[in-house]
Structure 1
C-alpha cells in the first residue's frame, strides 16, 4: 500500500529508511523529518510504501516552477517494483492537482537508474549538471563528484502513458549510429561523436567500481561528463537508453 504521510512518527520512519538505503553521515542527510513535516504542511508531497506495517519505500517532492513537482528523494527496497509503484502514485497525485510534469535528478553513471527513468518511466533527460551537490559523503557516493542529469517526466505524453501501462520505451537505433563512449571492461573508451546518432555507454556497476578501483570510477565520471554532457550542452537530445547499457543521443542539426 502507498499513501501520503502526515505524522511526525511517519517522517521519522522515512528518515530511518533513507539512512538504511544511502548510509548518510549524520551531517549530510539531504532532508530531515522536520523538513518533511514543513513540506507537507505547505501542501507538498511525501508518501510511503508499506508491506503491512513496515515501511519499504518513500518519496519526497516539492512544487517547482511552471506547474512542476520536483521529486527530491525516492528510495525503496530493491527488486520488488516498489520504486515504480511510488512513481505511479506520485504521478496521479500531481495530475489531481493540475501538475503537468515531474522532474528529478539522478546519477547518469548508474545503469539501472538510467534504464528505470528513461525506459520504464519514459522520462527525458533535459540538462547535464556537473558536480551538482558537491562531493558527497554517503556510503553509496562516497568521495565521488555528484554529476546529475535532470530528468523531465511529462505526465500526459503518449510515451509516458504507455510506460505507466508497463510498455517500456525502447528507442530505435539506426545502423549508422556511432559509439561516442564505449565500455572496455571497467574502463571507458572514447570514440566518435560526429554522426547524427551517438551511443554513450556507462559502466556496468559504478557503485562497485568506486570501491575496487577509484581511478577507473573517476575516469568514467569525467568521460561521461565530457561526452554525454558535452553533447547535451551543444543542444543534442537524449532520446532513450539502449539495451540497458548506453544513452542514445541525437543531434538536432
Structure 2
C-alpha cells in the first residue's frame, strides 16, 4: 500500500520540506542545503509514498559521542491524513535497515514524553529505551505542537543490532503508579498526589493523558502542571537507575513503564 524508500535527490528533499511545513505548522523548515549535506556525510532520509505522493518521512544525520558514532534520527513526520496507520513504524524499520548497512549500531532521537502516541511507537513497538530526560531541550518553540510549554524531551536509544529489540516484552511484576489521578470539573485528568519511588526492583508506571494536545488547547495551566509533574517523577526514576521501556495504552490515559536498567539485556 505504501512505498517506503530512501530519499537521495534535491527534488525529493524539497518535497520533505513542504511536508514538514504541514506536519509541524512551521514557515521555516530545515534548509535543503543542510539535509543534502547531511546525506552526503552519513545521514539518511527515508520517505513514505502513497500513489507517488510523499506522505511521511524520517530524517537522521551522523552523530558522535564518547568515542562512538550513531545515527541521530532528528525528525519523523506523517501527514495528518495518514496518521495512526503504522507508517511511523515502517519508516523507522527502513531507516534501521539502511543504518545497519551503513555500519551504525545505535540510533538516537528525542520526543516529547507527553505525546504518548510517539512514546508507544518508540518504546512498545520499536523497543527503544529511554534513560535520559532533557529539560527545555530546544528552548521556547513556536510551532503549533510545542508553543507555550518548556520543550522537555525524552532521549531514545534504539540498539538496532541488539537482540533486545527482537524480544517480546512482558511485565509480570506488580506495577506501582507514581501518580494518583483525578478529574477536574471539565473532566480533564490531573495529578492529585505523587507517590515516592523506592528502588527495590519493582516496576513503576508514570500515567500521562492520552490526548495532551486537547488539555493544552483548553487549559494552559493544567498542561504546564502535567509538564512539571511528569518531569519531576521521571527524573526521580532515572536518578535511581530506572529506564522507560514501554507505553501501556488505556482509554483516557497511557502509562510509561519503568524497569531497573540492570534487568535489560542490551
- Work out which of the residue numbers 160, 169, 180 in structure 2 matches 1:155: 160
Structure 1 residue 149: Cα displacement = 0.5
Cα distance in structure 1, aligned partners of 2:217 and 2:235: 24
Cα distance in structure 1, aligned partners of 2:141 and 2:232: 21
Confirm or deny: 8 A CA contact 1:182 1:200 kept in the other structure: no
> Residue 165 of structure 1 aligns with which residue?
none
- Work out which of the residue numbers 188, 192, 195 in structure 2 matches 1:191: 195
Query: 1:84 and 2:89 equivalent?
Result: yes
- Work out which of the residue numbers 51, 69, 74 in structure 2 matches 1:67: 69
Which SS does the other structure have where 1:202 is aligned?
Answer: strand
- Work out which of the residue numbers 116, 119, 138 in structure 2 matches 1:111: 116
Structure 1 residue 112: Cα displacement = 1.3
The one-character-per-residue Cα deviations of 1:117-167 (angstroms, maximum 9, x if unpaired) are: 1111000002011110011110111111110010011112223135xxxxx
Which SS does the other structure have where 1:64 is aligned?
Answer: strand
> Residue 8 of structure 1 aligns with which residue?
10
The one-character-per-residue Cα deviations of 1:224-253 (angstroms, maximum 9, x if unpaired) are: 000012221332222332345112223569
The one-character-per-residue Cα deviations of 1:162-192 (angstroms, maximum 9, x if unpaired) are: 5xxxxxx5441523x3221243232123223
RMSD between superposed Cα atoms in Å = 1.9
> Residue 121 of structure 1 aligns with which residue?
126
The one-character-per-residue Cα deviations of 1:66-111 (angstroms, maximum 9, x if unpaired) are: 2311100011130221111101110000111121111110101112
Structure 1 runs not aligned, ≥5 long: 163-168
Confirm or deny: 8 A CA contact 1:171 1:240 kept in the other structure: no
- Work out which of the residue numbers 132, 151, 163 in structure 2 matches 1:146: 151
Which SS does the other structure have where 2:178 is aligned?
Answer: strand
> Residue 226 of structure 1 aligns with which residue?
232
> Residue 166 of structure 1 aligns with which residue?
none
Query: How many residue pairs end up in the alignment?
Result: 243
CA separation of 1:242 and 1:42: change in aligned 2, threshold 3 A: same
Cα distance in structure 2, aligned partners of 1:207 and 1:173: 32
> Residue 246 of structure 2 aligns with which residue?
240
Greater percentage in strand: 2
Q: TM-score, normalising length from structure 1?
A: 0.89
- Work out which of the residue numbers 170, 175, 178 in structure 1 matches 2:176: 178
- Work out which of the residue numbers 191, 208, 212 in structure 1 matches 2:214: 208
Confirm or deny: 8 A CA contact 1:171 1:239 kept in the other structure: no
